Chain A
Amino acid sequence: MEPGREEVFFFEGNGKRLLGFLHLPPKGKSSAQGVVYCHPFAEEKNLSHAVTARAARRLAEAGIAVLRFDFSGCGDSEGELDQSDASAWLAEIAAAEQVLRAKTGVKQVGFWGLRSGANLALMHAQGRRDVPFLILWQPLPGLADFLRIFLRQSISTALAKGQGAKLTVKDLTKRLEEGGVVEVIGYPIGKRLYESFMALDARALPGELPCPTYMLTVGPPEMAPLKVKNWAASLQAAGAPLEALHDESEPFWDRYWRWDAPAPAEATAAWAVARGTSTAVAG
């Protein structure tokens, strides 16, 4: 079957010029539903880019229109990271959803995210009844701890250069709270971004799910995110519509020279097809 069309474009989202990449299903497969992909944070986005582009192509082959986009201050989109924040990114997910509907005519839009993008996708869908499905790849246990661990890398960098021996994460957060910028491996972190991660932390893993959800965790068993697995198990015990899979392939968002993660992509596409997100039609 001839591959579906792909289109790259800029669109306006929450007042910013954002980069979108649309994957359409092959000719002959109608797309009753689409999905918006939310990328992870900082270098994880860069390292996972080719993998998620390929996974999006697999979903499109399975009949699901996919819109990937870059948050403001990230990737090809407008702005710098220290001028962005996660609350604005939530508004941008809503804008991307509207663009996907307008460009494809799909009636229902699900959400798919990787790492912090998974948490944001979940937050965006929370409380809604019209979201058909969620795909969560390796959601974070929390946004606050994640950002603190991220900040710690700037201390490691300083130590490697023989600087900052007495610097702590507390010093860095104080600097952020006072309006300063902390550079972490090339990414500028500002007060707005820091405060938004702290404010949204409590919503990272909510106690209920709005729709059928597929959660995929990846990596060696000893690195399995226990808090996330326990969260999933408690939801399942309460009867939530959650299917969870752990794949023991490499955590591709944390590795150079990785282009593909076929097992997570295939498993996700199979789940989406099995729950009837696409319909083959004559043509």
Chain B
Amino acid sequence: MGSAVSDMNPSATGVNAPVTPASETAVEFRLDDRRVGDRGGLEGRGLFGILHQPSRPGPAGPEPVPVLMVNGGPQARIGAHRSYVQIARHLAGLGYTVLRFDYAGLGDGQGDFVGYNKAAPSIRAALDFLLSRVPAQGAYLWSLCDGAAASSVYAPHDARILAMVLSNPYVFSDQVRSQTYIKHYYLQRVMEKDFWVKAVTGGLNPFKVIGGFTELFRKAFMGKRKAPARGDATAANAGAPDGSFAKADVKEEVLGGVCRFGKRVHFLLSTDDLTAMGFKDLLLGGGETARLLKTGQLSYSEIAGSDHTFSTPGAKAEVCAQTRAALEGFSKTVQGRS
């Protein structure tokens, strides 16, 4: 645990007029790996973030449980097109204290990025810091894409996490990606007039189409393929620098994590996003997640017409509204404030 670095003191420099009323504070804290042993020299590294605190009193009654936003792998704490900033500001406007931060190796975070499934020290350090600043016993997590994967892997190991909103969780192994393409792209594509016009007029290369489909079908339904070779484009595009998203066990890690978590998880799923649709297929596909959907421990809602990162004003507004509804739903069953 480290200290907070608060706003610059204008009088200390003599060059600045007083800042506008502060509801956002730049903060610093340190990784503390003592409880997990040696994790590649991360101990003592500095992490940085923004703490959003409500600038006006919330409604009467118990104060809201704070929210920790866990960023996705390629993003800094601001999120794609500042989405994390805007969502955090919206939640702070509703009375929630929110911490956004960069985990090790991302954004301003010191050290090396070690992958979504090794983000535990960073998330724990952020949670330690957040709960040192807010009189609460626990927090909610909000995350997108492989930030949602990181949250799922970590959450079962930290009782202070009271519930989670996970947006478009990333579970794209080769197998899941191929199954999703077949269902949500190829099968829709052959229903479109344009496809058949091109097929009849010679606009399609039949060998390329059949070859591509055969390869997808093999990956989707013929079991695990061998590990991708170094430099394989699939692995290179699969996310984490160690290629860990190309491993078939990412879906087990994520789905297993949310099941083992044992508390409420609400998924926000974009309808124009293959990642989200692939995840939805897994969620509804039977087994433990289907059972937990029936009990209400797991739930989901869709952001209609949205892409993976909610890049339109309408989608962002819908994410804010559905997040609010989910958090208010959590609060009926959770007492996180001390």
Contact surface of A with B, Cβ cutoff 8 Å: 6-12, 17, 19-21, 42-43, 46-47, 49-50, 53, 74-76, 78, 81, 95, 98-99, 101-103, 157, 161, 183, 185-188, 256-259
Contact = CB atoms under 8 A, between A and B. Distances in A.
B46 A6 contact: yes
Contacts of B6: 9
Contacts, number: 122
A12 B13 CA distance: 11
A135 B262 CA distance: 53
Interface in B23-73: 24-28, 46, 48, 50, 73
Contacts of A103: 8, 13
B213 interface: no
Interface stretch (B101-109, B119-127, B133-141, B251-259): B101-109
B93 interface: no
B26 A9 contact: yes
Interface residues of B, number: 52
B73 to A, nearest CB: 7
A12 B113 contact: no
Contacts of A8: 5, 26-28, 48, 108
Contacts of A81: 82
Contact of B76 (A9, A50, A256): A50
A46 B17 CA distance: 29
B73 A12 contact: no
Closest 8 CB pairs of A and B: A186-B81, A186-B311, A102-B13, A49-B76, A256-B74, A9-B8, A8-B26, A12-B16
B191 to A, nearest CB: 14
Contact of A186 (B50, B80, B107): B80
Nearest to A7: B5
B83 interface: yes
Interface string B295-338: 00000000001000111110010000000000000000000000
Contacts of A185: 81, 311
Contacts of A49: 76, 78, 107-108
Contact of A11 (B8, B73, B78): B8
A187 to B, nearest CB: 5
B156 interface: no
A187 B81 contact: yes
B18 interface: yes
Nearest to A101: B15
B299 to A, nearest CB: 26
Contacts of B241: 257, 259
17 contacts: A6-B28, A11-B19, A12-B20, A46-B79, A50-B76, A76-B24, A99-B13, A102-B13, A102-B14, A103-B8, A183-B313, A185-B81, A185-B311, A186-B81, A186-B311, A188-B313, A259-B112
Contacts of A161: 272, 305
Contacts of A20: 8
B5 to A, nearest CB: 6
Q: Is the interface of B mostly helix, strand, loop or mixed?
A: loop
B85 A76 contact: yes
A46 B22 contact: no
Contact of A43 (B48, B81, B239, B272): B81
Given A12-B19, A43-B80, A19 B26 contact: yes
Contacts of A47: 74
Nearest to B8: A9
B80 A9 contact: no
Contact of B15 (A10, A53, A98, A258): A98
Nearest to A258: B74
A46 B8 contact: no
B70 to A, nearest CB: 16
B286 interface: no
Contacts of B76: 46, 49-50, 75
B16 A17 contact: no
A89 to B, nearest CB: 16
Contacts of B312: 183, 186
A259 B73 CA distance: 10
Nearest to A3: B110
Nearest to B107: A49
Given A19-B50, A76-B24, A186-B80, 4 more contacts: A8-B28, A11-B16, A99-B15, A101-B15
A12 B107 contact: no
Nearest to A21: B108
